[in-house]
Structure formats: structure tokens, C-alpha cells
Amino acid sequence: MDNTAADTRIGYIRGEFVPLIKASIPVMDRGFLFGDGVYEVTAVIEGRLVDDAAHLARLERSLKEIGIVNPHTASQWTQLEEEIVRRNKLTNGLLYLQVTRGVAERAFKYKDGLVPTVVMFPQFSPVQYNPLTKTGARIITLPDLRWARCDIKSTSLLAQVLAKDAASQAEVDEAWMMRDDVITEGASSTAYIVTQHGDLVTRALSHETLPGITRQTLLRIAQDLKLRIVERPFTRQEVLDAREVFYTSASTIAIPVVEMDGVPVGGAKPGPIFEALYAAYMQEVMQITPVAS
């Protein structure tokens, strides 16, 4: 949803609930000047905050990794999120929150004791009704140009912006990034293959990949379904040879891949393991208590 005169969304900006169209951030905020901050995004499905505790735990970790004191406890964050859901009558969509180091004169070195800037806002979208779950997505591969700490969910996303633009220019749905012919992850997603032997393969967590929250839940579900999970790197050729290919993220849940770099993959259709995982995930989501109106 664009920030236009028709935008009626309410955000939480620097301690106040305000119309987004009237919200502002100081020019000297380090998030604007340096991308000095982190963010999280939680899906809202039928009024339910999905995997929210895990998202808030990852936020805590990201803040700790870059030396920003978390401005709220987990329960305080949840109260703010629920209030955003209520004020915006957000039934289906996404809830973004960002924390920057704060406002100070522009200099790389910063003083201790800055007050973190907190921003929270909703986006409306039918997350669980993505048509790509039925048709499958087309992707391209690109060199991974990101910095060395991809495990931190930083607001510095220029490499991902360029990857997404390349995907848009190629008229495909996502870009998977590579280092030395090995897939790291998608521009905004975690990558998976199912081998011809039925192994569910995704990379182990490291500084090279974001610890995906949807990944975390999906792998637990895969264990419940007695799937064999192998956490290791895999190559572009292994994607081409795979029985199934898919990716996950909070904003898409899970999406099957049917084409990579113009070549059909995964049988060119959503596979049974993807479908079983997606169905089980959605079944779990519907057990979450909705935010009270």
C-alpha cells in the first residue's frame, strides 16, 4: 500500500500511534543515514500473529549483535503489535517493526546512551492466498553481493533491493543468490530442495544466511511428518536435479519453484512434500488465538 492521501493506516512512530501519512523521522536518525538498525516482519493471518514469539526472539538477537539495547520487553512488543492490529482492523497482512540506533549528528562513531528509534506499521495483503502456491514460482540465480553478517536482520538491504529488481526485470518471482555455485538463500527467502531420494535439504544456519523463522517452524513440522532433513549447502545443479524445489518467508509462508533460469525444475509443478508441509503449517496457524478486537 503506497503512502498516498488515501492511506489511512495507523503506525507506531517514536512512542506514538499516528497516521502514517503524517509520520516523520528526523534526518539525523542513524537508520536513515547509515542503515544502522534492524527489523522484523510478522505475518497476520485471520487476525493471528504468526510465529510472533520467535520473531521477537530474533529481534532481540539482532539488536544484541549490533549493540542496541532492546527498547521493549517481549510482552511490551506484543502489546504494541496487537494495538496496531486493532487500530488498523488488520485481518490479513504483515506487521513490520524497525529499531534504529537513534538520532545523533552524522558520524560513523556514535555515543553511548542514544535512544533507539522504534517504527511499526502494517501492510494489508492476503498472505495465505498467494496464487503461486498453486502455480509455482519462477526464479533466477545471481551472485550473492551481501555483507558477511547475513544472520543479522539489518535494515541495510541494498543488495537485496538490487536482486529483487533483477528478478523484476527478468519477469520472475524471486532471485536465489549464490557463492561459488552454491545457493545461499533467496533475496527475501530461505531455499530448499527435495532430492530424488526424498531428503529435504536446506542450508545449516551460519553468518551467511538469515535464521528464518518460517524455516524454523517448517523444519519442526517436517520432523513431525517424519521427513529426513539434511542441513547442508547445495549447488545450482542440485536444484536442477531435485524432485521438488521451494522457498519460505514470513511474507509468503511457502512457495514451490517450477522454473530456474528458464529451465523447468521440480517436475514443473508443486510437489507432494511442499503441499503436505504447507497444509500442516496453515493448520497450526489456525490454532493460534486471534488478537482480541
Count the residues in the chain: 293
Mapping DSSP onto H, E and C, the string for 130-179 reads: CCHHHHCEEEEEEECCCCCCCCCCECCCHHHHHHHHHHHHCCCCEEEEEE
| 164 has catalytic annotation | no
Q: What are phi and psi of 69, to 5 degrees?
A: -75, 130
Nearest residue to 248 via CA among 277, 208, 206, 284 = 277
Residues 6+ apart with CB under 8 A from 207: 148, 149, 150, 151
Residue 93 carries which side chain, given as an amino acid letter?
G
Q: In Å, what is the CA distance from 189 to each residue of 59, 192, 249?
A: 17, 10, 5
Selecting among 109, 134, 153, 226, the annotated active-site residue is 153
Residue 245 carries which side chain, given as an amino acid letter?
V
State the maximum Cα–Cα separation within the chain, in Å, rounded to a whole number: 57
What are the beta bridge partners of residue 38?
99, 154
Q: How far, in Å, CA of 87 to CA of 8, rounded?
A: 10
Q: How far, in Å, CA of 282 to CA of 189, rounded?
A: 18
By annotation, the residues acting in catalysis are 153
